[in-house]
Amino acid sequence: MLLNENQVWYPPIELIETDTALILRAEIPGVKIRDLDVRTTKSLISITGKRHEQHFANEKELICSQLHYGQIECLIELPVPIQNHRVEAELVDGVLTVIMPKAQTWDNPKNQENIQEILALFPA
What is the residue extent of each domain of the chain? Answer: 13-120
Closest CA to 28 of 98, 86, 83: 98
State the pTM of this model.
Answer: 0.74
**Are the CB atoms for 21 and 102 separated by under 8 Å?**
yes
CA dist 78 and 102 (Å) reads 10
pLDDT in tens, the chain (124 residues): 445 556 788 899 999 999 999 999 999 998 999 999 999 999 999 999 998 777 777 777 777 777 777 899 999 999 999 998 999 999 999 999 999 999 986 555 555 555 566 666 666 5
Residues 6+ apart with CB under 8 A from 124: none
**Topology of domain 13-120, per CATH?**
Immunoglobulin-like (2.60.40)
